[in-house]
Amino acid sequence: MARPVRETPILFGEDARRFIARMQERHPETPEARAQRLRDYEFMQKAFEDGMREKRAREAANGGVDPWFKHVEFPKDLKL
Amino acid sequence: MVQTCGIPERFKIVRLEPTNAIENFDCGDRDLNDYITNRASLFDYHMLAVSYTCIDPDTKQILAYFSLANDKIATSDFPNMTEFNRFRRKQGFPNEKRLKSYPAVKLCRLAVDICAKNRKIGTKVLNYIKSMFVIKNKTGCRFITVDAYLDAVPFYEKNGFRMMNLEDDDPHTRLMYFDLMDLVA
């Protein structure tokens, strides 16, 4: 069984003080890092738009099922 | 020897439906593999997370998987959880001055298949998520949070994440966050 992801805790004491102090500071990314991030974003956004368009086409051609993935159904009353 | 598969320049990203399950994926961590192949659909079905995959369209190999959920970071004036609970029992739920929270998005899981390691796909995914919540955010979101596996902590630190708690002694993971305001010029 996969380990659950820990919930984000309420920050107290020194952790809260440090967090709020860090929020007030600005640590801007370098121009190079910004340019790389925006290039990655453009690339990934296009990959997402293309990927979703192709997924919808596969589903339309296969009765609503995407053959690239295993198809699973859940009963309506399924509990987590 | 680690084999490489897919060419990052060609991959597609797909948002999974709850009816879409992943069969073949190996990031080298049994726990993560188990979640991605057996549990992710269930979380998507219950609307607790949204799953995305990066896929090589030629081989249909899943190169990377990530899932997102809404989150928040809350801070309290109280020195510790014991004081907080004592106050809550006596006074009812604390008022706004006692507890402030900031909207965040949780990177629930991020995994790269063994065959696509060392191709900076993880960094591309992080840059995508960061930009997604700065450029096209539909709701307010200040932070990205992650419960990082210990061996992934250097990766997140390299990408600007910070530790949430000074003393976090969990044997498996560290809670970390990234401030999206750092990206606003």
Give the model confidence (pLDDT) of B25-37 as tens digits.
999 999 999 999 9
The predicted pLDDT at position B164 comes to 95
The predicted pLDDT at position A79 comes to 72
Chain B CB contacts of A11 under 8 Å are 73-76, 164-165
The predicted pLDDT at position A76 comes to 76
Chain B CB contacts of A9 under 8 Å are 164-165, 175
Predicted TM-score of the model (pTM): 0.90
The predicted pLDDT at position B3 comes to 46
Q: Report the alpha-carbon distance of residue A36 to residue A32 in Å, rounded.
A: 6
Contacts by residues A71-80 (CB-CB < 8 Å, ≥ 24 positions apart): A71/B19, A71/B20, A71/B21, A72/B18, A72/B19, A72/B20, A72/B21, A72/B41, A73/B19, A74/B18, A74/B41, A74/B42, A74/B45, A78/B42, A78/B45, A80/B42, A80/B43, A80/B46, A80/B48
Is some CB atom of chain B closer than 8 A to the CB atom of A5? yes
The predicted pLDDT at position B185 comes to 67
Mutate to test the interface with A, among B7, B12, B80, B121 (most CBs of A within 10 A): B12
The predicted pLDDT at position B49 comes to 97
Residue B13 sits at φ, ψ, to 5 deg, of -115, 135
Facing residue for B41 by CB, picked from A22, A23, A72: A72
Q: Report the alpha-carbon distance of residue B39 to residue B24 in Å, rounded.
A: 14
Which three-class secondary structure state does DSSP give residue B116?
helix
Neighbouring-strand partners of residue B162: B177
Which is it for the CA torsion B99, B105, B111, B116, positive or negative? negative
The CA-atom distances, in angstroms, between B26 and each of B2, B91, B115, B116, B126 are 12, 50, 8, 10, 20
Per-residue pLDDT of chain A (80 residues; tens, 9 = 90+): 778 899 999 999 999 999 999 999 989 999 999 999 999 999 999 999 999 999 999 999 999 999 999 999 888 777 76
CB contact under 8 A, A10 and B172: no
Chain B CB contacts of A65 under 8 Å are 19
CB contact under 8 A, A74 and B45: yes
The predicted pLDDT at position B92 comes to 58
Pick out chain B residues at pLDDT < 70. 1-9, 84, 87-98, 185
